[in-house]
A = this chain, B = another copy of it.
């Protein structure tokens, strides 16, 4: 048992931190106050320079142009990048591209990789992921209406999707659709498809207004219609009927990325909290830091963040060594989302009216990371996954008890 990061990780984190402070942080307040707007253009040279650190696309193997980090190392890096709202984007390590790259890398054919993976890893194009449907609860992954019918050599996709992050401006969509809606095994009904967004019948209906902004580009969530989109037979990603399995395989490391990013958000929020407590005076010579309540928020945040951080690292370490741990990933997903929300709330309270403004990144995180307890499975689903696993050794089968 040893909890220290390796020298390699220490160096990598220092490099990433310095880069973010110098190159990324200057843009973060404009993101908070004005949304995405012209950031794509302004971030392009930053991303070019990020390649120079050797940490660009850290989740991809070197042979595909990435930094080839193990999952534990990715988590340790993600924490540092997470301190800045644009950190992951700068390093091409942001959702939904990360998950899509991982999917294509793991399941794609050589042709699919050549067409989509290279440009994605180099940050030349963006992608989106079409799974959730407005008519169905996102927490039930086997219930959807979008279908893909085999028509000769082609597939015909029809459906209605939403909350497709970064659909606006994406070149390719990974689409989940029912290929065998009557299959006895509900987990074998769907398949995944790689759909060019310029296909006929593919329509981005709107960018959904989320927390006050419809958003643009990478920072948007699209609602889409597939009005009978035709894709060739080889547009299937992975096996036909393997959609659910791929979705799971995509979400699990993806959750590690999110969760370790949240640890970074928390650390930044705690830093801002301490800074504000030190600088803001209630009366001349009486800094906010002298308030016991503020001291307690700092201490409680510190404890929650540090404990959560270790839990995330242990999970990444286990997956690196032994492969999938669905219940461990669920455990950190809901736990860290809760820590995140509490820490952000305290940081805002310490900042008072300033915390409500976009003069710090706190308000941006406060409104957008409320989704942390919702997306990629709400808290309630992940708690059930953990409970199911915990109760199994006691002879309980939750699925048999009316579990969704």
Contact = CB atoms under 8 A, between A and B. Distances in A.
A367 B212 contact: yes
Q: How many copies does the complex hold?
A: 4
Given A295-B384, A302-B386, A404 B286 contact: yes
A269 to B, nearest CB: 13
B212 A35 contact: yes
Most buried by B among A162, A370, A387, A404: A387
Main secondary structure of the interface of A (DSSP, over half): helix
Contacts of A332: 303
A274 B394 contact: yes
A241 interface: no
A385 B302 CA distance: 12
Interface in A138-174: 138-140, 143, 162-163
Interface in A251-294: 270, 274-275, 277-278, 280-284, 286-294
A28 interface: no
11 contacts: A1-B72, A35-B212, A136-B281, A274-B394, A286-B404, A290-B398, A292-B293, A296-B384, A298-B387, A307-B307, A356-B370
Interface of A: 1-6, 9, 32-35, 72, 132, 134, 136-140, 143, 162-163, 208-214, 270, 274-275, 277-278, 280-284, 286-296, 298-300, 302-304, 306-308, 310-311, 313-314, 317-318, 330-332, 334-335, 348-349, 352-359, 363-364, 366-367, 370-371, 373-375, 378-380, 382-388, 390-391, 393-396, 398, 401-402, 404
Given A211-B363, A211-B366, 16 more contacts: A2-B2, A3-B318, A137-B281, A137-B283, A210-B363, A287-B396, A289-B391, A289-B396, A289-B398, A296-B380, A299-B334, A299-B386, A306-B331, A310-B311, A310-B314, A356-B370
